[in-house]
Structure 1
Amino acid sequence: MSLIEFTPQGMYCPQAGMYIDPWQPVDKAIITHAHGDHARRGNKYYLAHVTSEHVLRLRLGEHINLQTIEYNVPIHINGVKISFHPAGHIVGSSQIRLEYQGEIWVASGDYKTEPDLLSQSFEPVRCHTFISESTFGLPVYQWKPQSEIFDEINQWWKDNQNADKVSIVFGYSLGKAQRILQNLDTSLGKIFVHGAIWHTNEALRQDGILLPEVIRVSKEIPNQTYRGGLVLAPPSAMATPWIRKFAPYATASASGWMTLRGAKRRKALDRGFVLSDHADWNGLNAAIEATGAQRVYVTHGYKSAFARYLTEKGLEAYEADTLFEGESLDPLPSLEENELQ
């Protein structure tokens, strides 16, 4: 029995009459998390986790028809038992469990298995069929403990202060920016944020997420004020006139793609920190094994290679075409970042 079909509109559960993270407007949408490739405008009804509420309203519109739900609290629609479970990707990110007539499927959305002290940690969900991302589904992608990465970031900030420079770190305005902020040594100096990050922080605070205080970058702040401080900005701000006000500065990107030789050079960055909100090779394999699933659908990322590897391990694995993007190496501007500067 198939509980999820891959259709032109998105992942569809015919028994419940609902789509998961649809990429075209539909009547009823279940949303795994608030990133733009999973939560799109135009749906008539949204179901999401409670800590995604204000970020979704910020990005999709204040008056969207949104119902929220807690983790591990099932609802029943047309005989389908639906529940949300922590994915560990960003605040509010969820795996969607569907149960119908004894069959259990789980759509994981995006996930990571290392706790980040901000989002609720990933919890494996036992199922017959698991839908997994594969953004970093190759053995080359193996993350160091995040504590080591943040020690490197804080030391880099100190070194830039000694050189009388501003430190600029690029990371997604939702998820990566808050994770970095939560782990910075705030005693080192002032922390400034791009407008897109500022608005996202304020939305998350409305959902009960505690974050350190920061200063929003503005035209009214004298350029000299930024000296020695750290600026958090989305990737879309790279190589734009916006960053000129911080000169002299050093730039860095926090991304899993910084694993690749040449990625830092390609973006003309001074430093690259390997930090991702997606599971690495070991995390993907551990998560799939913990589900006990014998059938796996592999979505965005290295899906061909990863599905082939899972097949060789004895699982029934398939590639699934979606419009999900995972973590992008290219600093493409998003709609919400353009609007919220």
Structure 2
Amino acid sequence: MKPNDLVVQRPEGLYCPPGDFYIDPWRPVARAVITHAHADHARYGHGHYLASSDAQGVLRVRLGSIDLQTLPYGERISHNGVTLSLHPAGHVLGSAQVRLEHGGQVWVASGDYKVAPDPTCAAFEPVKCDVFITESTFGMPIYRWIPDEELFTGINDWWSRNAAAGRASVLACYSFGKAQRVLAGVDASIGPIIVHGAVEPLNAAYREAGVALPPTRLVTDVADRSELRRALVVCPPSAVASTWLRRFGEASTAFASGWMQLRGARRRGGYDRGFVLSDHADWPGLMGAIGATGAQRVIVTHGSIAAMVRYLREQGLEAESFDTEYGSDDLEAAVEKGGSAELPAEPPQESAP
């Protein structure tokens, strides 16, 4: 790190010294700027939260009563002399990149992002900066996503075949973001859509934000059990291994994730099918996003850090890394089982620059 850096590492998380606030901190702090509502980035226990206006509904679903200030995309505010604005990250509903300007420098912290089109959230917006903090979840050249049209043709064909055979189509994916993208992309005329109880409150938040989703029901709302044999069932991965699944009788199971690009991932999970669907950028998306910022210095976080740092240095960029606690599927899984991504119980303390 260098003197006067706008973002540095601290035990609590990524810290802006001149502004005296944190970005997606993993320990309790007085002031937290939140890029999005996934559990590894948005945790309960901070004194004050700032997030995009689009994130309000999903943050309330996940964190309940918090001191939340929201900011429309692109609107600038000043705090302790730091000009701050939030810009679409294209990851999930309300996801934002954090732009910081101070002392002649512009930094952007991306959080998680996706550059592919997605009808359930605002499209990724490249933001010019001097320093770009980027994720690297799928930061290897092997990760290249197929177009959504091809992807959802595959999902719809699988669902149609199962419905014709009288068996439910159980599609496992994370309840926040991935599930809503699945719902927005499938052909709802094939049959009824049943969702797990962890999914429906987030669906409601998406609908309240103006995102169009097809009608969905809980299994307890289905009076005619024969409907279940034609249904698409969207649920978190934990539900596939639970007794909840028995309600549907004969079923074909599938998992939607970017990790399905890896040979053997579906087999290890015990799923009948795997669909390569991610809410993160693939390798071309990461490289295109980094290039579009014009940044000459890039700081890489969670994912394939070493590979990306090495590649970016080979391209002539000044590349380094931050060690973060982002990218934890365990936290997201805990939330989907009814737990929470809670921080330690001690009250947040004011941080000195």
Q: Do 1:80 and 1:100's aligned partners in 2 also have CA atoms closer than 8 Å?
A: yes
Residue 224 of structure 1 aligns to which amino acid in structure 2?
S
* Paired AA for residue 231 in structure 2: G
Residue 71 of structure 2 corresponds to 69
Q: Normalised by the size of structure 2, how large is the TM-score?
A: 0.92
Note if 1:282 corresponds to 2:284.
Answer: yes
CA deviation vs aligned residue, 1:88-135 (integer Å, no higher than 9, x gap)? 001110000000021000000000110111211101100000000000
Matches within 5 A, 1:36-47: 36-47=39-50
Partner of 1:181: 183
Give the match for residue 270 of structure 1: 272
SS in 2 for 1:187: coil
| Contact persistence 2:163–2:191 (CA under 8 A) | no
Render the CA deviation track for 1:57-79: whole Å, top value 9, x for unaligned: 11111x21001110000000111
2:36 aligned partner: 33
3-state DSSP of counterpart to 1:297: strand
1:334 is paired with a residue whose SS is helix
Q: Kindly state the Cα deviation for residue 218 of structure 1 after the two structures are TM-superposed.
A: 2.0
Q: Check conservation: 2:38, 2:332, Cα contact below 8 A.
A: no
Q: What residue identity is the alignment partner of 2:48? A: Y
The match for 2:201 is: 199
Quick one: distance in 2 between partners of 1:99 and 1:208? 31
> Is 2:29 the partner of 1:13?
no
Corresponding residue for residue 151 of structure 2: 149
Whole-Å separation in 1 of the counterparts to 2:333 and 2:143: 25
TM-score (structure 1 length as normaliser) = 0.95
Q: Which residue of 1 aligns with 2:251?
A: 249
Matches within 5 A, 1:1-341: 1-61=4-64, 63-218=65-220, 221=223, 223-325=225-327, 328=329, 333-338=333-338
8 Å CA contact 2:110–2:134 kept in 1: the answer is: yes
Check whether the contact 1:223–1:245 (CA below 8 A) recurs between aligned residues.
no
Q: CA deviation at 1:223?
A: 4.0
Query: How many residues end up aligned between the 2 structures?
Result: 337
User: For the residues of structure 2 that align with 1:339 and 1:211, how far apart are their CA atoms?
Assistant: 26
Which residue identity is paired with 1:186? A
| Counterpart contact for 2:87–2:97, Cα < 8 Å | yes
Unpaired segments ≥5 residues, structure 1: none
Q: CA deviation at 1:219?
A: 7.6
CA distance, structure 1, for counterparts of residue 272 and residue 332 of structure 2: 20
The whole-number CA distance in structure 2 between the counterparts of 1:337 and 1:223 is 25
Aligned residue type for 2:240: M
- Per-residue CA deviations over 1:181-206 (Å, capped at 9, x if unaligned) read 00110111100100111011112233
Counterpart residue type for residue 263 of structure 2: R
- The code of the aligned residue for 2:59 comes to L
Q: Relative to structure 1, is the Cα distance of residues 336 and 275 closer, same or farther in structure 2, using a 3 angstrom cutoff?
A: closer
- What is the alpha-carbon distance in structure 2 between the residues aligned to residue 332 and residue 86 of structure 1? 22
Separation in 2 of the partners of 1:152 and 1:209?
A: 23
- Asked if structure 2 preserves the Cα contact closer than 8 Å seen for 1:236 and 1:331, the reply is no
8 A contact 2:236–2:336 mirrored in 1: no
Residue type matched to 2:12 in 1?
Answer: Q
SS in 2 for 1:317: strand
Task: Assess if the C-alpha contact under 8 Å between 1:238 and 1:331 holds in 2.
Answer: no
- The amino acid of 1:294's aligned partner reads Q
- Asked if the contact 1:235–1:331 (Cα under 8 Å) also holds between the matched residues in 2, the reply is no
Q: Matched residues, percent identical?
A: 53
In 1, the alpha carbon distance for the partners of 2:106 and 2:322 equals 18
How far apart are 1:85 and its partner, in Å? 0.4
Q: 1:160 Cα deviation (Å)?
A: 0.6
Q: Describe the shift of the 1:26–1:105 C-alpha distance in structure 2 as closer, same or farther (beyond 3 A).
A: same
Give the match for residue 347 of structure 2.
none
